[in-house]
Amino acid sequence: MSVAGEKYKAERGGLGETVKIVIQALLIAVVVRTFLFQPFNIPSGSMKATLLVGDYLFVSKYAYGFSKYSLPFSPDLFTGRIWASPPKRGDVAVFRLPRDPSVDYIKRVIGLPGDKIQMIDGVLQINGQAVKKEKVDDYTTTDEFGTEVRVPRFRETLPDDKLPNGSIHKGISYEVLDLDPHSMWDDTPIYEVPPDHYFMMGDNRDNSTDSRVLAAVGYVPFENFVGRAELVFFSVKEGDPAWQFWRWPWTVRFDRIFKTI
């Protein structure tokens, strides 16, 4: 074989190996995204101050098992969940909006199947018992004009729950914001969570369309859960595009990177 022929064969072999590596990488990415972790970004302030606009996070797809919404394009291959593991109270979870399953929402699990949920004078009530709520330092932010704004912030501590296996899930603590002490959602009727459904709420209580709004969100079927939010892997300031990498030294919120949820 001539030198030119050997060179062509080597180049073709090198190209074939490159294509093989690219295909393998794409398959691995599809498997990871479908069955393990999926990235999401936060477009609204409904979960402040836990999650901020501009946060990018990983959601574990396997945490609750798999439904059709775990798969790309949500093919109608089966109903319910495979290897189901129910959400725990306090989880921050991504789910498909019941009235429009093409839309992803992220909220906190507040009510479990069979629970009675209510807000009375801004205090969360679970099965007739007030959730512990303590005032902490105000949350400081800026408005659209760049003026510093202080928002009342509280720490809620959820009650302990007994799991089906008999163990106790310790009630977690997290922070909520109270933009308006007399919001229309500070006093609600009693919501009775149906079987196999969950009651979801945003941590930014007066700026969250959640299960309190039955016509918009309402009770979320277990099947609609996509996964549990685990980790913020990247974060840029609100209003700054993440793709403008040349501005990262000034726009990236480095203190939020690798922040667990």
What's the rounded Cα separation, in Å, for the pair 87 and 65?
10
- Examine the residue annotation and report whether 107 is marked as an active-site residue of this protein: yes
In the block, tokens 């930014």 appear at 204
Q: Which of 61, 107, 208, 235 is catalytic?
A: 107
Q: What is the pTM of this model?
A: 0.86
- Examine the residue annotation and report whether 68 is marked as an active-site residue of this protein: no
Q: Which of 46, 67, 208, 235 is catalytic?
A: 46
261 residues of the chain, pLDDT tens digit each:
555 555 445 455 566 677 777 776 666 656 556 667 889 999 999 999 999 999 999 999 999 999 998 877 787 878 889 898 999 999 999 999 999 999 999 999 999 999 999 999 999 999 999 999 999 999 998 776 778 889 999 999 999 988 878 889 899 999 999 998 888 899 999 999 999 999 999 999 999 999 999 999 999 999 999 999 999 999 999 889 888 999 999 999 999 999 999
What fold does the segment set 3-260 form as a domain? Umud Fragment, subunit A (2.10.109)
* Domains of the chain by residue range: 3-260
